[in-house]
Amino acid sequence: MKTNFSLLFYIKKQKNYSAGTAPIYLRITVAGKRSEITSGRECEPERWNAKTGRMSGTKQDTRNFNAYLDILQHQVYQAHKDLTDSNEAITADSIKNRFLGKDEKSHTLLEAIKDHNQKMGALIDNGYAIGTLNRFTVLERHVTLFLQERYKVTDLNAKKIDHAFIADFEFYLRTEKSCAHNTAIKHIKNLDKILRICLSLNWIDRDPMFGYKLKSKNVERHFLTEDELKRIAAKEFSTERLLKVRDVFLFCCFTGLAYADVQKLKLSNIAKGVDGNKWIFTNRKKTNTRTAIPLLPSAVTILDRYADCPYCVSSDKAMPVATNQKMNEYLREIAGLCGIDKELSMHIARHTFATTVTLLNGVPIESVSKMLGHTSIRTTQIYAKVLDIKVGEDMAAVRKKYFNI
């Protein structure tokens, strides 16, 4: 927000002044409060024009003197503009300090986000996944547009971030960007990480997120039933394109691998396990957690189908996996051909493994958690909560035992 201020050059005679030159001062006034700076120049009182704030005369030394004051005036106005552009507090002292170069270096919100993203980008595949970087890149884009549309600035001093800013940003995400509740919360949590970095670097002196409520809503996790799995597996496809996508999808349904993990799965990741059968031994790309998964016969059959695939052999890949975008696009086509009224995606395969393939067949949740590569069993328990089918089957056994129904 613009703040009006005034600037005045004046001659300042000392109390014991008797004759000779006197120093010229520059006075900055904002909202009635003043701050003074010496110009470093002196002038005879009789040659000073108080009305114009300049030395009177036309000689070269006078023109040089006044040109110097013009330069100082321009620098003060530039200091005011810089403070205004960065949305910092405009006071007589802040303008003076910026003009003198004595103001404390301020850091901005976008500076913090860009610095974080640059460092994260350098650590891709060395502690961070590209998907994580992409989420912070989206955050940077949202914050940039938010500052332009709501604050009419290109950046903002990090010290200006408060509850009101965060609440307004969350509202902006939900309205202008049409983000779902949990998506908006994830962006705010990513912003929280940036602000905690600012706090650790002493760029800000308090935590703007302290006391701010962040609560995600439980969402229903869709998965395929056993009948739907069989329908997809039995379907005859006329194109190799859909056949490959179907096979990769089913392989993930029988192994619990996420797209990123099946896409990078190598032939060397498949070896004999403790039971003498084929297992997958790999690390999850998202969390780098070790995962060991015994291969079910259906998964082995799919793998064997691509044992001689030229692409797989030359690139040491277990399966020919298309881009995630293409996979999801073709899966929607497969759903229509199989008469499945669900929006198929690669992540539904992982949900299907956790529910229909394992938990519904009595596999202990601890084992499911290890195969999914979850770092906390609480994450796996989310799947257990949706299994009304399992609850019904368990209670049916109780009815049969005690009530002979």
pLDDT tier at 386, thresholds 50, 70, 90: low
Residues 95 and 135 in one domain: no
Give residue 338's pLDDT. 94
Cβ-contact 329, 345 below 8 angstroms = no
Within a 13 Å sphere around the CA of 144, how many CA atoms are in the beta-carbon half? 11
Cβ-contact 133, 120 below 8 angstroms = yes
219 in any annotated domain: no
Q: Give Cα 135 distance to the centre of its chain.
A: 4
Residues 363 and 240 in one domain: yes
Cβ-contact 22, 13 below 8 angstroms = yes
Cα–Cα distance between 257 and 373 in angstroms, integer? 9
Q: Give me the residues paired with residue 36 across strands.
A: 27
Q: What does the pLDDT average to over 46-74?
A: 93
215 in any annotated domain: no
Q: What does the pLDDT average to over 251-259?
A: 93
**pLDDT beyond 60 at 289:** yes
Cα–Cα distance between 124 and 133 in angstroms, integer? 8
Residues 254 and 372 in one domain: yes
Give residue 405's pLDDT. 59
The number of domains in the chain is 3
Q: What does the pLDDT average to over 224-253?
A: 93
Range scoring the smallest mean pLDDT among 76-80, 81-85, 170-174, 182-186? 81-85
**CA separation, residue 396 to residues 206, 387, 402, 404 (Å):** 57, 14, 10, 10
Give residue 377's pLDDT. 79
Q: Where is mean pLDDT largest: 91-100, 129-138, 184-193?
A: 184-193
Q: What does the pLDDT average to over 142-159?
A: 91
387 in any annotated domain: yes
pLDDT tier at 243, thresholds 50, 70, 90: very high
pLDDT tier at 152, thresholds 50, 70, 90: confident
123 in any annotated domain: yes
- pLDDT higher for 145 or 374? 145
> Starting at the edge strand that comes first in sequence, how are the strands of the sheet with 33-43 ordered?
6-11, 22-30, 33-43
Residues 185 and 321 in one domain: no
Whether the model clears a pTM of 0.85, i.e. scores above it, the answer is no
CATH number at residue 356: 1.10.443.10
Write out pLDDT tens, residues 210-233: 999 888 776 667 889 999 999 999
220 in any annotated domain: no
Residues 276 and 331 in one domain: yes
Cα–Cα distance between 294 and 204 in angstroms, integer? 50
pLDDT tier at 3, thresholds 50, 70, 90: low
Phi, psi of 41 (to 5 degrees): -125, 155
Residues 30 and 91 in one domain: yes
1 in any annotated domain: no
Identify the burial level of 239 via C-beta atoms within 10 angstroms of its C-beta, where 0-12 means exposed, 13-18 middle and 19 or more buried. exposed
Residues 129 and 24 in one domain: no
358: DSSP letter: I
Cβ-contact 389, 288 below 8 angstroms = no
Please provide the DSSP assignment of 111-154 as one string: HHHHHHHHHHHHTBTTTB-HHHHHHHHHHHHHHHHHIIIII--S
Write out pLDDT tens, residues 324-353: 899 999 999 999 999 999 889 998 999 899
Give residue 215's pLDDT. 83
Give residue 285's pLDDT. 77
Cα–Cα distance between 53 and 36 in angstroms, integer? 15
405 in any annotated domain: no
Give residue 390's pLDDT. 64
Residues 282 and 142 in one domain: no
Place of tokens 């600035």: 153
Q: What does the pLDDT average to over 274-282?
A: 91
- pLDDT higher for 360 or 349? 349
pLDDT tier at 395, thresholds 50, 70, 90: confident
The residue out of 37, 71, 100 marking a domain boundary is 100
217 in any annotated domain: no
- pLDDT higher for 322 or 126? 322
Give residue 396's pLDDT. 74
**pLDDT beyond 90 at 391:** no
Give residue 2's pLDDT. 59
The residue out of 166, 200, 234 marking a domain boundary is 200
SS3 86: coil
Residues 373 and 243 in one domain: yes
Q: Name the residue range of residue 321's domain.
A: 226-400
Average pLDDT, the chain: 88
The residue out of 100, 118, 139 marking a domain boundary is 100
Residues 252 and 169 in one domain: no
Give residue 397's pLDDT. 72
**pLDDT beyond 90 at 52:** yes
Cα–Cα distance between 222 and 213 in angstroms, integer? 28
Q: What does the pLDDT average to over 13-34?
A: 89
SS3 210: coil
Residues 152 and 297 in one domain: no
pLDDT tier at 313, thresholds 50, 70, 90: confident
**pLDDT beyond 80 at 88:** no
Give residue 220's pLDDT. 67
Cβ-contact 279, 270 below 8 angstroms = yes
Residues 327 and 394 in one domain: yes
- pLDDT higher for 182 or 396? 182
